[in-house]
Structure 1
């Protein structure tokens, strides 16, 4: 049992931005130590290019990912389900979900790029904490 890698699923509305960004950052931080997946309630047609650009600035890559629809199987397979943002994910018995509500970007961040960079930094800090938690759980 202790050899099993933690399985983390990030969920947002479209799986084109926030959940993909979080997944890319956790893959980068955890390497092969964690299984990382992401999904959306209504998948976008493609990855958000601006989100891909700003996550690349931190050395993470999400360009090869494809927005994926959330399934009950994916929810049940995950050890941690993290809803990033306001997506309304149906509750399932036996599946614990946590929600990350990213901080509201300050009004002085006027461009879309500045807002996404702010979002990226907020999610990156949360991913760093999650990665530490997962490392502690795996070590214990």
Structure 2
């Protein structure tokens, strides 16, 4: 990782419709302009999970305009940190890239009541990642 450049973080889950979208939104919210943030899915859905959109809106983060994106080898290779959330072996591995795996429940098919604890766990993990990167979270 180039110490003078903002670190690049890629969040990956299967559908890029829930967990990775929430994680990317939190990282963007807590470190605006200080981290390059991307998310992708190994089998992207057509839209972000509506219960996920609602759960994020409840805490003041709007992800309703986000669109699930397909995971590419280029996205992985150009990232300093790749955080996987249940995508199994679908994520390509490259030397020099740091990989983290966050075992999280999949919000697919869940209502907002079930999504809230997943959202809150992701928020705490993103805060921990920022601390690990030496970046102070914006309150």
TM-score interval (norm. to shorter): 0.7 to 0.9
Superposed displacement of residue 62, structure 1:
1.6
SS at match of 2:31: helix
SS at match of 1:38: strand
Determine the C-alpha separation between the residues in 1 that align with 2:76 and 2:85. 14
Determine the C-alpha separation between the residues in 2 that align with 1:93 and 1:38. 17
Cα distance change on mapping 1:97 and 1:87 into 2, 3 Å: same
Cα distance change on mapping 1:70 and 1:118 into 2, 3 Å: same
- Structure 1 segments (4+ residues) deviating >6 Å: none
**For structure 2, which runs of at least 5 residues remain unmatched after alignment?**
none
**For structure 1, which runs of at least 5 residues remain unmatched after alignment?**
105-110
Determine if contact 1:14/1:67 at 8 Å carries over to the other structure: yes
Equivalent residue for 2:100? 98
How many residues of Structure 1 are paired with residues of Structure 2 in the alignment? Answer: 132
Q: Tell me the C-alpha RMSD between the 2 structures.
A: 2.2
TM-score normalised by L of structure 1? 0.84
TM-score normalised by L of structure 2? 0.85
Bigger radius of gyration among the two: 1
Once the two structures are overlaid, the 10-residue window that deviates more, 1-10 or 28-37, is 1-10
Determine if contact 1:41/1:87 at 8 Å carries over to the other structure: no
SS at match of 1:32: coil
More helix per residue: 1
